[in-house]
Amino acid sequence: MKAIIITKPGDGSVLALQERAIPQPESGQILIRVRAAGVNRSDIHQRTGGYGTDPTGQIPGLEVAGIVEKCGPNASQWKIGDSVCALISGGGYAEYVAVDERHCLPVPATLTFAEAASLPETVLTVWSTAFQWGQLSAGENFLIHGGSSGIGVTAIQLAKAFGADVYATAGSDEKCAVCEQLGAVRCVNYKKEDFEQVLSSVPIDVILDMVGGDYTQKNLNLLAMDGRLMFINAMQGADSQIRIPTLMQKRITISGSMLKPRDADFKAKLTADVEKHVWPLVADGQFKPIVYRTFHLSEAAKAQELMESSDHIGKIILAVQ
């Protein structure tokens, strides 16, 4: 099969289309013939060696959509020919991938493979972090930084669908307009305005943050009593200085999580929860995948370059067949 290989840590030029053996599904796994694969920030971090391990020889890709080609021993949930999308821990930029069958969801009838491939990583991350861990609920105020990111467009739509009032930040007026069209009450262009000042009269219950750095104390200042600050990254800086009394006065909870290293059973339960709670919203059109651009698998470097530019709004996808 053809697959994109990280030939050494570095910029996009280290990605090469090469031949690899088709993986064989092990017990409890299915083999997916990949039709589309999602591109995520984490793929770039992996390519540059940012996770502290040498990525040489690895195939990136955390989510795919495609057709079940083969069922491994003890895999009984799906049958050959089913259309599925799946969360994977790597290997998505390829023509085939073997996955734990419990980490798959049916491709909704209304979606293309490209749209379906755009969902698993962001939907599972937002569901587990903002809703399960952060306990976001109807009637609460929710702030998502990076509102036009793949994560952001997902978080805005899900939070709105579940009855929260959504606020966002993004880096241009065009991005903010899209965030507001998707359901944000107000999106702040952080390059023009200080989000803390703009939102100072809104008591925020849950913040989903990927920025970190000097956003942290501003986030704490905006939080209401019993507010929750949930980190999924710290792109602006891993270290933050905070005023501890702010936490005490408002009983604030600060936490964070990473989906990729969670164990298979956790991901299986999370996938089942998402199928139960989120998939009906996809089916009835309340939640729409936002695919910004699709590249062919062989253009993976260009796709990652676009993501690094942050010019995109929503998800970037690789078409595989």
Tokens of 257: 């999580």
Beta strands in 197-307, from DSSP E residues, in sequence order: 204-209, 223-231, 253-256, 291-296
| Least separation in angstroms between CB 175 and ligand NAP | 5
| Least separation in angstroms between CB 149 and ligand NAP | 3
Nearer to ligand NAP, 150 or 227 (CB): 150
Site string for ligand NAP, 73-112 (x = CB under 6 A): ----------------------------------------
Candidates 258, 264, 266, 296: give the one binding ligand NAP (CB under 6 A). Answer: 258
Nearer to ligand NAP, 31 or 290 (CB): 290
User: Would you list the DSSP string of 181-213?
Assistant: HHT-SEEEETTTS-HHHHTTTS-EEEEEES-BT
Interface with ligand NAP by CB under 6 A: which range of 2-10, 167-175, 245-253, 298-306?
A: 167-175
Q: Per this entry, what is the length of the chain? A: 321
294 binds ligand NAP per the rule CB under 6 A = no
Candidates 98, 170, 178, 318: give the one binding ligand NAP (CB under 6 A). Answer: 170
Tokens of 30: 């299915």
Phi and psi dihedrals of 106, rounded to 5? Answer: -70, 145
36 binds ligand NAP per the rule CB under 6 A = no
Interface with ligand NAP by CB under 6 A: which range of 47-55, 92-100, 168-176, 263-271?
A: 168-176
Tokens of 178: 């899209």
Tokens of 96: 């085939």
Nearer to ligand NAP, 153 or 320 (CB): 153
Nearer to ligand NAP, 64 or 259 (CB): 259
| Least separation in angstroms between CB 174 and ligand NAP | 10
35 binds ligand NAP per the rule CB under 6 A = no
Tokens of 280: 């009906």
User: Three-state SS for 309?
Assistant: helix
151 binds ligand NAP per the rule CB under 6 A = yes
232 binds ligand NAP per the rule CB under 6 A = yes
Candidates 4, 29, 36, 40: give the one binding ligand NAP (CB under 6 A). Answer: 40
What burial class does residue 55 get, using C-beta atoms within 10 Å of its C-beta: 0-12 exposed, 13-18 middle, 19+ buried? buried
- C-alpha dist (Å) from residue 200 to 12, 195, 203, 204, 281: 41, 8, 8, 9, 32
Angle at 61 between CA 187 and CA 254, to 5 degrees: 45
| Least separation in angstroms between CB 176 and ligand NAP | 9
Sequence-distant (6+) residues with CB within 8 A of 86 are 32, 63, 64, 65, 97, 99, 103, 104, 105, 120
Contact residues toward ligand NAP (CB under 6 A) are 40-42, 121, 125, 145-146, 148-151, 169-171, 175, 190, 210-211, 232-233, 235-236, 257-259, 307, 310
